[in-house]
């Protein structure tokens, strides 16, 4: 199985700041990576697919980058509605696997 190591586990930042969440795969996943946002008490929502493609309706302050085994999600101009947990997921190989999540709070 491909292990997805996500960091940090939690993050506190101020409104307007830029934050970055990292995800490392245990082997090359060739950009087969998605990022999801899960607000408290809600289901996950897709943000990014194919490592850097923005899903329909997602604000442009979210962006994804990376290649090989290293990927990141960047959130520019942090807003209060961005308080959530964020998960990466590889879909290049079976079984599909998720990172353990990053909980983002506002300072």
* Alpha-helical segments (H) within 9-106: none
Q: Which of 24, 52, 65, 91 touches other proteins (CB under 8 A)?
A: 91
CB of 67 to other proteins, least distance (A): 12
Residue recorded with tokens 């897709």? 46
By CB under 8 A, the count of residues binding other proteins is 26
**In this complex, which beta carbon is closest to other proteins, that of residue 7 or of residue 100?**
100
Residue recorded with tokens 């060739």? 30
**In this complex, which beta carbon is closest to other proteins, that of residue 1 or of residue 17?**
1
Cis peptide before 66 (omega within 30 of 0): no
Phi-psi map region of 64: left, alpha, beta (phi>0 left; psi -120 to 50 alpha): beta
Q: Which of 2, 23, 25, 36 touches other proteins (CB under 8 A)?
A: 36
Q: Should residue 13 be labelled a site residue for other proteins when binding is judged by CB under 8 A?
A: no
Cis peptide before 8 (omega within 30 of 0): yes
Q: Should residue 83 be labelled a site residue for other proteins when binding is judged by CB under 8 A?
A: no
- Bridge partners (DSSP) listed for residue 14: none
Q: Should residue 45 be labelled a site residue for other proteins when binding is judged by CB under 8 A?
A: yes
């Amino acid at each position: 199985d491909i292990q997805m190591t996500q960091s940090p586990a939690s993050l506190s930042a101020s409104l307007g700041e830029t934050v970055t969440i990292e995800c490392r795969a245990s082997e090359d996943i060739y950009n087969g990576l998605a990022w999801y946002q899960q607000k408290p008490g809600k289901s996950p929502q897709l943000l990014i697919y194919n490592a850097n493609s923005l899903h329909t309706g997602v604000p442009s302050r979210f962006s994804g980058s990376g290649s090989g085994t290293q990927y990141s999600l960047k959130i520019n101009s942090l807003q209060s509605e961005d308080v959530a947990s964020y998960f990466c997921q590889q879909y290049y190989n079976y079984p599909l696997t998720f990172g353990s999540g990053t909980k983002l709070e506002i300072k």
